[in-house]
């Protein structure tokens, strides 16, 4: 590509709106431009890299048997209401004003919609469905460039399986594909145990990049390898930091709470509010846990208090307890109340797994003056967490989430009725998994890990071009002829070449632009070296330069 004919608007100065290195450099190198807060246009050079990333993702997803779809971004709100996620996403969800539509922030509902009725028998399973598509989220603080867009491209994949064993296989395949994708993109990353957030589900892990620009905090133990998002490891880091106020899990002792209705009265909430109850098994004994915060965070805290023997109940166990066919999580007043009611009536303990400060529902501070609550102090409880066990100091640092893999279970298939017939002709809910990668984040994280004071430092395979060919003075006929010939020959050899053939522009401007844009190899064609039939080659990363004879040029960088 000829620079004289390209739209690559470079900037000398740092843009005032950008703070983190990748954001600054993506604007300065003409990869993106902002349209509005959290909304970016991709310019040709940036989009070229983004396409390379999408090709790598596509190859690795196809390698594990993924089938590529393209689902719409505009979704009927009704489907999202059926899974309770209009509420769960809250302000993050964009609503379309003149119709009852939402702009999809993810696609579990739509996958379940299409699976319903078309996945009929166990013979139709397993399936791996994926897409590379635009997502919409009304992020409250979009300040890190494309790392937190209100519109962004996600590779999202979904597995459909007949049972948990199938899900384990699909989950492991995605773990493998994600490692291959991030390795090929040249990223340094690590994997942490994570919270499932608005997705729900039983297990999830995040692929993280250590970066001061990150908005997640990760706790990592070099000695035993324990790594967790602080959302999850909160109790661990609290214990490590010996904070006095870490009294987060508590048991509610109140003789008056015998049913969910009592509980709602007790907490001054109604059935439609967001409090969640979940049944856990603690040493074979069912307990009811009230969840008002994030499930897995509280699960970990609860596990700490109850000596680490807590796990979410399996739907089959719930059926044994209550006789009701239901899942394990849902808003109070949803069908799980049958189980919760039974547990409470049988005099089981009610635990609350939420921070005292989480108890704000509808603006009411629910817990402030509630009597009869006994607080456990996490500092005094021996934790079941691996870190703690090795006793080393945890390294706590900021990180960017690149990808996230979830075991969803049957939450969506139950809510939307995605059933199949098993080998015995019995109807069962399809077991789902969901797996996301932020495509723009790969690009931004690559830059966060590969830049210097002069600009970006690309390497194969993400580099937009292999070679930046600089003709120092296009008014000199020998320079012009030689660089034009080199441009043709290098492309014939299979290299992607960006040719700075601009007639205007000093050597200084051309060098600065080449360093800012960051192609791995620069070839500098100037009068002085040409007199000896030579050109200069510069390695962008090391800055090393060498002068080579023209006819040995190609060999010299192979
Ligand atoms: P975060 O914790 O950073 O808000 P998330 O946990 O909400 O991300 P997921 O719902 O797990 O994100 O979505 C899958 C992937 O999509 C994330 O791992 C991330 O790489 C990417 N992603 C999420 N939100 C954004 C965004 N606003 N802009 C760009 N990429 C995003
Ligand atoms: Mg988010
Ligand atoms: Mg997250
Ligand atoms: Mg996530």
Is residue 263 within 8 Å of residue 428, measured between CB atoms?
A: no
Q: Which ligand is nearest to the CA of 150?
A: 1
Name the token pair of 195: 């919270």
Start-to-end CA distance of the chain, whole Å, equals 21
Nearest to 109 by CA among 135, 85, 74: 85
CA 401 to ligand 4 centroid distance, Å: 7
Asked whether the CA dihedral 405, 407, 412, 418 is positive or negative, the reply is positive
Average pLDDT over residues 283-289: 71
Ligand 1 neighbour 441 (Cβ under 6 A): yes
Q: Report yes or no: 80 and 109 within 8 Å, Cβ to Cβ.
A: yes
Cα distances (angstroms) measured from residue 108 to each of 64, 89, 90, 233, 339: 20, 13, 17, 27, 26
- The alpha carbon of residue 164 and the mean position of all alpha carbons in its chain are separated, in whole angstroms, by 23
Has this prediction a pTM greater than 0.80?
no
Those residues whose C-beta lies under 8 Å from the C-beta of residue 157, and which sit 6 or more positions away, are 61, 66, 128, 129, 130, 131, 174, 434, 435, 436
**347-400 tens-digit pLDDT:** 666 666 544 444 333 222 333 333 333 333 222 222 333 384 466 667 788 999
Residue 28 has pLDDT above 80, yes or no: yes
What is the ipTM, given to two decimal places? Answer: 0.99
Ligand 2 midpoint to CA 229 (Å): 13
Q: Which two tokens stand for residue 537?
A: 């080659």
Residues 509 and 461: their CA atoms lie apart, in Å, by: 27
86-95, 116-125, 338-347 — which is least confidently predicted? Answer: 338-347
For residues 539 and 457, what is the distance between their CA atoms, to the nearest angstrom? 10
The answer to whether the beta carbons of residues 149 and 34 sit under 8 Å apart is no
CA 104 to CA 138: how far, in whole Å? 11
How many whole angstroms from 393 Cα to the centroid of ligand 2? 29
For 521, phi then psi, to 5°, come to -125, 135
- What mean pLDDT is reported for the chain? 82
- The CB of 299 under 6 Å from ligand 1? The reply is no
- Atom of ligand 1 at shortest range from CA of 150: 27
How many angstroms from the chain centroid is the CA of residue 301?
23
Q: What are phi and psi of 186, to 5 degrees?
A: 75, 30
Q: Is 402 in the pocket of ligand 1 (CB under 6 A)?
A: yes
Say if ligand 1 is within 6 A of residue 148 CB. yes
> In the chain, what percentage of residues exceed pLDDT 90?
61
202: Cβ–Cβ under 8 A, 6 or more apart, which residues? 196, 312, 407, 409
**Whose atoms come closest to the Cα of 137: which ligand?**
1
How far apart, in whole angstroms, are the C-alpha atoms of residue 227 and residue 48? 34
Phi/psi of residue 545, each to 5°? -125, 145
| Count of C-beta atoms within a 10 Å radius of residue 334 | 18
Please give the pLDDT value at position 310: 67
* Residue 8 in this model has a pLDDT that exceeds 90: yes
Give, for ligand 1, the residue of 145, 438, 446 to mutate: max count of ligand atoms closer than 8 Å to Cβ.
438
Of 175, 114, 220, give the one whose Cα is nearest residue 437.
Answer: 175
Spatial separation of the C-alpha atoms in residues 498 and 187, rounded to whole Å = 24
pLDDT per position as a tens digit, 294-325:
455 556 666 655 655 666 666 667 667 666 54
**E-assigned strands of 296-356?**
310-312, 329-331, 350-352
Residues 6+ apart with CB under 8 A from 47: none
pLDDT of 334: 41
CA of 345 to the centre of ligand 3 (A): 37
Question: Kind of pairing, strands 216-220 and 427-429?
Answer: unpaired
* Cα distance between residue 352 and residue 248, in whole Å: 9
Any ligand 1 atom below 6 A from CB of 401:
yes
Q: How many angstroms does the Cα of residue 470 sit away from the middle of ligand 1?
A: 39
Alpha-helix residue ranges (DSSP H) falling in 185-249: 230-241
Alpha-helical regions (H) of 466-506: 477-492
The pLDDT value given to residue 460: 96
Taking only the tens place, the pLDDT of each residue in 160-186 is 999 999 999 999 999 999 999 999 999
pLDDT at 188: 96
| Atom 8 in ligand 1: residue holding the nearest Cα | 401
Contact 356, 294 (CB under 8 A): no
What whole-number distance in Å separates Cα of residue 40 and Cα of residue 149?
8
| CA nearest to 291, candidates 197, 223, 378 | 197
β-sheet bridge partners, residue 220: 227, 395
């Amino acid at each position: 590509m000829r620079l004289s004919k390209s739209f690559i608007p470079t900037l000398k100065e740092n843009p005032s709106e950008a703070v983190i290195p990748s954001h600054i450099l993506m604007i300065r190198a003409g990869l993106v431009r902002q349209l509005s807060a959290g909304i970016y246009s991709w310019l040709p050079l940036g989009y070229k890299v983004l396409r390379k990333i999408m090709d790598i993702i596509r190859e690795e997803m196809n390698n594990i048997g993924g089938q590529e779809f393209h689902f719409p971004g505009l979704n009927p709100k009704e489907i999202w209401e059926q899974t309770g996620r209009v509420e769960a996403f809250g302000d993050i969800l964009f609503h379309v004003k003149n119709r009852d539509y939402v702009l999809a922030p993810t696609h579990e509902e739509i996958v379940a919609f299409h699976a319903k009725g078309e996945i009929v028998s166990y013979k139709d399973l397993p399936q791996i469905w994926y897409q590379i598509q635009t997502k919409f989220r009304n992020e409250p603080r979009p300040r890190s460039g494309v790392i937190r867009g209100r519109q962004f491209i996600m590779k999202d994949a979904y597995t459909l399986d007949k049972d948990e064993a199938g899900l384990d296989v699909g989950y492991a395949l995605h773990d493998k594909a994600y490692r291959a994708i991030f390795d090929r993109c040249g990223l340094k990353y690590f994997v942490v145990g994570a919270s499932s957030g608005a997705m729900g589900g039983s297990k999830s892990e995040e692929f993280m990049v250590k970066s001061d620009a990150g908005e997640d905090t990760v706790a990592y133990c070099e000695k035993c390898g324990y790594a967790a998002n602080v959302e999850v490891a909160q109790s661990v880091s609290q214990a490590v930091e010996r904070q006095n106020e870490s009294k987060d899990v508590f048991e509610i002792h109140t003789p008056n709470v015998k049913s969910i209705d009592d509980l709602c009265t007790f907490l001054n909430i109604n059935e439609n509010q967001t409090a969640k109850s979940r049944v856990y098994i603690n040493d074979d004994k069912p307990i009811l846990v009230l969840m008002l915060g994030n499930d897995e965070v509280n699960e970990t805290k609860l596990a700490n208090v109850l000596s680490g023997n807590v796990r979410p109940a399996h739907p089959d166990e719930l059926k044994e307890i209550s006789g009701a066919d239901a899942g394990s999580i849902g808003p109070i007043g949803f069908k799980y109340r049958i189980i919760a009611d039974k547990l409470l009536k049988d005099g089981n303990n009610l635990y609350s797994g939420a921070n005292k400060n989480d108890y704000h529902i509808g603006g009411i501070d629910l817990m402030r003056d509630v009597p009869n609550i006994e607080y456990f102090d996490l500092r005094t409880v021996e934790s079941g967490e691996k870190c703690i066990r090795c006793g080393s100091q945890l390294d706590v640092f900021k990180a960017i989430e690149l990808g996230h893999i979830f075991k969803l279970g049957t939450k969506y298939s139950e809510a939307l009725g995605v059933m199949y017939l098993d080998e015995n002709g019995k109807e069962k809910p399809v077991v789902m998994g969901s797996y996301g990668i932020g495509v723009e984040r790969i690009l931004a994280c690559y830059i966060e890990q590969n830049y210097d004071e002069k600009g970006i430092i690309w390497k194969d395979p993400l580099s937009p071009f292999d070679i930046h060919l600089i003709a120092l003075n296009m008014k000199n006929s020998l320079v012009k002829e030689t660089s034009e010939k080199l441009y043709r020959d290098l492309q014939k050899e299979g290299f992607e070449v960006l040719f700075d053939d601009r007639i205007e522009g000093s050597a200084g401007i051309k060098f600065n632009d080449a360093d800012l844009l960051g192609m791995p190899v620069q070839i500098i064609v100037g009068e002085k070296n040409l007199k000896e039939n030579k050109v200069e080659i510069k390695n962008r990363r090391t800055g090393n330069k060498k002068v080579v004879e023209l006819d040995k040029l190609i060999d010299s960088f192979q």
